[in-house]
């Protein structure tokens, strides 16, 4: 069987992917702050030098992981909004997306670690804040596009709903990580479904109810 020899660029890409995969796992298991560059490199089967050939710092690696998560989420949301089908189909797809998003344990723990680091490190906070605002803008744009497609109005400004939805998902994941027996999948699902169907899709709200927040 012929084996194709990898090029230098392909070997570098493979090394980079192994470092990223190892970091995602070890960040979830041990926490971002305590994990060293050496620990990441060792877990990936490489050296410290291999790490610095691919990333300037542990922080840069973390942001690369979050960027990938963000881009994948944005692409999936866009596919949901652009897909053919009824509004009910889109609602179900959005609900399924947020359920799966809240249930991605390693990724959510990584984001929680980033939030903790941002609370303690002003330089990290500034960079992370830009990233979070981009995530909020993308979510708001998705909700606005959904409302336009459905020919309806959102119950609150898209920016408010996007903030509420992402904050709710963050909170659900935090509770599930700390108390999986109490924060069951069924309970988490009910919380997310309730917010989406009532606050976002406005099913079951009272006629004439004022949701104004002064925006």
**Tens digits of per-residue pLDDT, 144-154?**
888 887 777 88
CA of residue 103 relative to chain centroid, distance: 11
Instruction: Average the pLDDT over 106-131 and give the result.
Output: 91
pLDDT for 2 beyond 80: no
Higher pLDDT, 46 or 180: 46
Q: Which of 33-47, 103-117, 118-132, 196-210 has the lowest mean pLDDT?
A: 196-210
Instruction: Average the pLDDT over 149-173 and give the result.
Output: 85
The DSSP H or E segment spanning 150 is helix 122-150
Instruction: Average the pLDDT over 59-88 and give the result.
Output: 87
The confidence band for 160, taking pLDDT boundaries of 50, 70 and 90, is very high
CA–CA distance, 74 with 16 (Å, rounded to integer)? 23
- Rounded to the nearest 10°, the torsion over CA 163, 109, 175, 187 is 80
Nearest-CA neighbor of 199 among 173, 160, 171, 172? 160
CA–CA distance, 132 with 163 (Å, rounded to integer)? 10
User: Per the structure block, which two tokens stand in for 191?
Assistant: 């919380």
Name the DSSP letter for residue 207. T
107: exposed, middle or buried (Cβ count in 10 Å: 0-12, 13-18, 19+): buried
For residues 161 and 140, is the Cβ–Cβ distance under 8 A?
A: yes
Count CB neighbours of 199 within 10 A: 19
User: Per the structure block, which two tokens stand in for 160?
Assistant: 């408010």
CA of residue 20 relative to chain centroid, distance: 16
pLDDT for 207 beyond 50: no
The confidence band for 14, taking pLDDT boundaries of 50, 70 and 90, is very high
**Tens digits of per-residue pLDDT, 121-130?**
999 999 999 9
What the chain holds in terms of domains, given with CATH numbers, is: 8-55 (1.10.10), 59-200 (1.10.357.10)
- Block residue for tokens 């941002």: 118
User: Per the structure block, which two tokens stand in for 24?
Assistant: 């995602």
Q: What is the pLDDT of residue 196?
A: 78
The confidence band for 203, taking pLDDT boundaries of 50, 70 and 90, is low
Question: Average pLDDT, whole number, for the chain?
Answer: 84
């Amino acid at each position: 069987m012929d084996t194709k020899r990898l090029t230098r660029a392909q070997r570098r890409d493979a090394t980079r992917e192994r470092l990223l995969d190892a970091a995602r796992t070890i960040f979830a298991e041990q926490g971002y702050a305590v994990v060293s560059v050496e620990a990441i490199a060792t877990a990936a089967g490489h050296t410290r030098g291999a790490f610095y050939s691919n990333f300037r710092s542990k922080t840069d690696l973390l942001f690369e992981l979050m960027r990938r998560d963000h881009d994948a989420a944005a692409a999936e949301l866009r596919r949901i909004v652009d897909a053919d089908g009824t509004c009910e189909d889109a609602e179900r797809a959005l609900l399924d997306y947020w359920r799966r998003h809240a249930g991605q344990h390693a990724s959510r723990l990584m984001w929680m670690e980033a939030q903790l680091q941002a609370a303690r490190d002003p330089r990290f906070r500034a960079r992370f804040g830009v990233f979070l605002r981009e995530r909020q803008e993308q979510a708001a744009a998705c909700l606005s596009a959904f409302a336009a497609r459905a020919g309806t109005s959102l119950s609150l400004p898209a920016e408010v709903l996007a903030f509420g939805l992402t904050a709710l998902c963050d909170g659900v994941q935090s509770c599930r990580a700390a108390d999986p027996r109490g924060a069951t999948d069924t309970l988490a699902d009910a919380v997310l479904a309730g917010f989406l169907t009532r606050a976002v899709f406005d099913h079951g709200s009272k006629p004439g109810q004022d949701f104004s927040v002064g925006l």
